[in-house]
C-alpha cells in the first residue's frame, strides 16, 4: 500500500444498503464464525469515532463481513483500509466497496489469528515507542470466539513491540462480549477483576467507550456488546517478560475466591511450596490474606519482580507448572494401582 494523503474529504458513492448486500449475496450468518452483523451505519460511525482521528490514516479492519463498519471507516476519511476476512462469501460484497473507493481498500482473505500485520503498512509510518501513537488503527467488530485469544496475542505483541506494534503504539478499537469487556476494564476490588484486567491494564490504557445492545445485531446474539479502545502505554506498569507476568497472574487468579497466597503457592513445587510462597510474598510486601480481586497492578508488579528474583536463583523454577506435577502424580498412582491389581491376580 502506498502512503497517500489525498482525497481527505472522500465520501462513498450511493451503494446498496448492507441489508441489500446480505440479500444479494445470500450472506446468512454462520454460527461457527460467530457472525452477528451491524446494519445501522449510525452505530458503525459511532464505533469509528471512538478510534480518534482516522482521517488520512491507515486502518486494518478485522472481520468486515458485509461491510457496515468498513463503510464508516471509509467515510471517516481513512487513506488506506486493509480488511482481513476469513469467510469467502463476503469477498464479492467487499470487492464492490473496494471499487467504490478506488485505491483505498485492500482485501485479504485470511485468518486474523495468523495474519502478519507487521508487513501490511508502509515502514515509514512507524513512530518511536515514546512518541504519540502512529497513524495506524485497528478496528473491528470481532467474532466473540476470536476476540479473547486475539487480544491476548496482541497484548503479548505490545509487550514485545512486534506484530501490529512494529509501527509504535498502534491503537485498537474493538468490540467484545459485554462480560469480557467488563473484565478487561475492571478496577481493583471489583467483582469482574480477573486475569484479563491485569494483563490488559499493565500494558495499555483501556477505555470503555459504550455498550451496544444485542438487539442492534442481526442475528441478535444472547449478550450485549462492549466497545473498548486500547492505547499501549509508553512504560508498561510491570517490567518483566510477558510470559512471566502471565504465569504469576494466571496462578494467582486460579483460586479467585481464596486468599492470594493459595494461588501463589502453586507457582512452586510441592516440596518447597510454603517456604517459597512466603518468601515471595514477603519480598513483594503483599498481604497474603488479600483476595486476588483486591490486588492492584502495583501488587502484581511487586509479585512479578519477586517471582523473577526467585527464578534467577533457581533456573528450573520458571518451567514448573503445578498442573503437570498433578498429572504426573495421577499417572503414577494409576500405574502403581495397576501393578498392585496384577500382583493380586
Ligand atoms: N464487521 C461486520 C459487522 O460489524 O457487521 C461483521 C462482524 S461479525 C461479528 C465477525 C466477522 O468476522 C464475520 O464476518 C466473520 O466471518 C469474520 N471472522 C470470523 N473469524 C475470523 C478470523 N479468524 N479472521 C478474520 N475474520 C474472521
Question: In the structure, what pLDDT confidence band is assigned to residue 51 with cuts at 50, 70 and 90?
Answer: very high
Ligand 1: centre distance to CA 135 (Å): 23
**Which of 18, 32, 35 has the most ligand 1 atoms within 8 A of CB, as the residue to mutate?**
35
CA of 70, closest atom in ligand 1: 1
- Assign 167 a pLDDT band (cuts: 50, 70, 90): very high
CA of 243 to the centre of ligand 1 (A): 28
Mutation choice for ligand 1 from 46, 65, 138, CB with most ligand atoms inside 8 A = 65
pLDDT of 62 higher than 70: yes
Q: Which atom of ligand 1 sits closest to the CA of residue 37?
A: 5
Average pLDDT over every residue of 174-180: 96
At what angle are helices 91-100 and 68-75 packed, to 10 degrees?
A: 20
Which residue is it, cell 474493538?
Answer: 174
Q: For a pocket test of ligand 1, which of 86, 107, 114, 150 has the largest count of ligand atoms closer than 8 A to its C-beta?
A: 86
43 belongs to an annotated ligand binding site? no
Crossing angle of helices 242-253 and 144-160, rounded to 10°: 130
Q: Does residue 273 contact residue 265 with C-beta atoms inside 8 Å?
A: yes
Establish whether 131 is an annotated binding residue: no
- At residue 345, the pLDDT reads 63
Instruction: Give me the interface pTM, i.e. the ipTM.
Output: 0.99
Ligand 1: distance of its center to the CA of 160 in Å? Answer: 26
Read off the pLDDT band of 3 (50, 70, 90).
Answer: very low
Residues 344 and 53: their CA atoms lie apart, in Å, by 77
- pLDDT band, very low/low/confident/very high, at 237 (cuts 50, 70, 90): very high
Q: What's the mean pLDDT when you consider all of the chain?
A: 93
Q: What atom of ligand 1 comes closest to residue 38's alpha carbon?
A: 5
Give yes or no for residue 33 CB within 6 A of ligand 1: yes
> Above 60 in pLDDT, residue 5?
no
For the residues of 134-190, what is the DSSP string, one character each? PSEEEEE---HHHHHHHHHHHHHHHHHT-GGGGGSS-EEEEEEEHHHHHHHHPPTT-
Q: 217 alpha carbon to ligand 1 midpoint, in Å?
A: 13
The pLDDT value recorded for residue 4 is 46
Beta carbons within 10 angstroms of residue 81's beta carbon: 26
Asked whether residue 111 is marked as a ligand-binding residue, the answer is yes
Q: Is 86 in the pocket of ligand 1 (CB under 6 A)?
A: yes
Q: Grid cell 509501527 — which residue? A: 167
Per DSSP, helices labelled H in the chain are 18-24, 41-50, 68-75, 91-100, 144-160, 178-185, 195-201, 242-253, 260-265, 273-284, 297-313, 322-344
For ligand 1, say whether the CB of 36 is within 6 Å of any of its atoms. yes
How much is the average pLDDT of 114-122? 94
Rounded distance between C-alpha atoms, residue 54 and residue 153, angstroms:
24
For range 137-144, the mean pLDDT? 92
Say if ligand 1 is within 6 A of residue 147 CB. no
For residue 283, with 0-12 CB atoms within 10 Å meaning exposed, 13-18 middle and 19 or more buried, which class applies?
middle
pLDDT digits (tens, 9 = 90+) for 264-286: 999 999 999 999 999 999 999 99
Contacts of 76 (CB under 8 A, 6+ apart): 45, 48, 49, 54, 55
- From CA 42, how far away is CA 69, in angstroms rounded? 10
2: pLDDT strictly greater than 60: no
How far, in Å, are 93, 179, 245 from residue 252 at the CA level? 47, 21, 11
> What average pLDDT does the segment 124-147 reach?
94
Over residues 91-97, the mean pLDDT reads 95
Give Cα separations from 159 to 93, 140, 205, 232, 338 (angstroms): 36, 21, 13, 9, 48
- Alpha carbon of 110 to ligand 1 centroid (Å): 11
Identify whether the C-beta of residue 75 lies closer than 8 Å to the C-beta of residue 45: yes
Distance CA 197, CA 22 (A): 36
Provide the percentage of residues in the chain whose pLDDT is more than 70. 95
For residue 150, CA distances in Å to 8, 55, 233, 312 come to: 31, 26, 19, 31
Range name among 76-80, 102-106, 219-223, 279-283 with the lowest pLDDT average: 219-223
Predicted confidence band at 24 (pLDDT cuts at 50, 70, 90)? confident
| CA atoms of 81 and 74, how far apart (whole Å) | 8
Which residue, judged by its Cα, is nearest atom 11 of ligand 1? 63
User: Which pLDDT does position 158 carry in this prediction?
Assistant: 98
63 is in an annotated binding site: yes
Alpha carbon distance 305, 315 (integer Å): 15
3 in ligand 1 pocket by Cβ < 6 Å? Answer: no
- With cut-offs at 50, 70 and 90, classify the pLDDT of residue 290: very high
Q: How confident is the model at residue 344 (pLDDT cuts 50, 70, 90)?
A: low
Model-level pTM?
A: 0.92
Angle at alpha carbon of residue 79, lines to 77 and 81, rounded to 5°: 100
Q: Average pLDDT for residues 65-69, to the nearest whole number?
A: 96
Q: Provide the b/e sequence for 137-176 (b: ≥16 CB within 10 Å).
A: bbbbbbbbebbbebbbebbbbbbeeebbbbbbbbbbbbbb
Give 63 Cα–ligand 1 centroid separation in angstroms: 3
Q: How far is the CA of 131 from the centre of ligand 1 (A)?
A: 32
pLDDT confidence tier of residue 339, bands split at 50, 70 and 90 = low
User: Does position 308 have pLDDT exceeding 80, yes or no?
Assistant: yes
Q: Is the pLDDT of residue 202 over 60?
A: yes
| % pLDDT > 90, the chain | 80
What is residue 26's predicted lDDT score, i.e. its pLDDT?
Answer: 80
Q: Find the 316 Cα to ligand 1 centroid distance in Å.
A: 42
Amino acid at each position: 500500500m502506498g502512503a497517500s494523503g489525498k482525497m481527505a474529504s472522500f465520501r462513498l458513492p450511493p451503494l446498496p444498503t448492507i441489508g441489500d448486500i446480505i440479500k444479494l449475496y445470500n450472506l446468512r450468518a454462520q454460527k461457527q464464525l460467530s457472525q452477528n452483523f451491524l446494519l445501522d451505519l449510525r452505530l458503525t460511525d459511532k464505533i469509528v469515532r471512538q478510534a480518534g482521528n482516522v482521517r488520512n490514516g491507515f486502518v486494518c479492519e478485522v472481520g468486515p463481513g458485509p461491510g457496515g463498519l468498513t463503510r464508516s471507516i471509509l467515510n471517516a476519511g481513512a487513506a488506506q483500509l486493509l480488511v482481513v476476512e476469513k469467510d469467502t462469501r463476503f469477498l464479492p460484497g467487499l470487492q464492490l466497496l473496494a471499487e467504490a473507493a478506488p485505491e483505498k481498500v485492500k482485501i485479504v482473505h485470511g485468518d486474523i489469528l495468523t495474519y502478519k500485520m507487521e508487513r501490511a503498512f508502509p515502514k515509514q509510518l512507524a513512530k518511536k515507542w515514546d512518541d504519540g501513537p502512529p497513524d495506524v488503527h485497528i478496528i473491528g467488530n470481532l467474532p466473540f470466539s476470536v476476540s479473547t485469544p486475539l487480544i491476548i496475542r496482541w497484548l503479548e505483541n505490545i509487550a514485545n513491540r512486534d506484530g501490529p506494534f512494529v509501527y509504535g503504539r498502534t491503537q485498537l478499537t474493538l468490540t467484545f462480549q459485554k462480560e469480557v469487556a467488563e473484565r478487561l476494564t475492571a478496577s481493583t476490588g471489583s467483582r469482574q477483576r480477573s486475569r484479563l484486567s491485569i494483563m490488559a491494564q499493565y500494558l495499555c490504557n483501556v477505555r470503555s467507550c459504550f455498550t451496544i445492545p444485542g438487539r442492534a445485531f442481526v442475528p441478535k446474539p444472547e449478550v450485549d456488546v462492549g466497545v473498548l479502545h486500547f492505547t499501549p502505554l509508553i512504560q508498561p506498569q510491570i517490567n518483566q517478560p510477558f510470559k512471566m507476568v502471565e504465569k504469576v497472574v494466571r496462578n494467582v487468579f486460579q483460586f479467585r475466591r481464596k486468599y492470594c497466597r493459595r494461588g501463589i503457592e502453586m507457582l512452586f513445587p510441592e516440596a518447597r511450596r510454603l517456604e517459597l510462597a512466603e518468601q515471595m510474598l514477603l519480598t513483594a510486601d503483599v498481604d497474603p490474606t488479600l483476595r486476588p480481586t483486591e490486588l492492584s497492578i502495583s501488587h502484581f508488579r511487586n509479585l512479578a519482580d519477586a517471582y523473577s528474583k526467585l527464578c534467577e536463583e533457581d533456573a528450573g523454577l520458571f518451567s514448573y507448572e503445578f498442573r503437570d506435577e498433578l498429572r504426573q502424580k495421577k499417572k503414577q498412582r494409576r500405574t502403581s494401582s495397576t501393578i498392585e491389581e496384577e500382583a493380586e491376580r
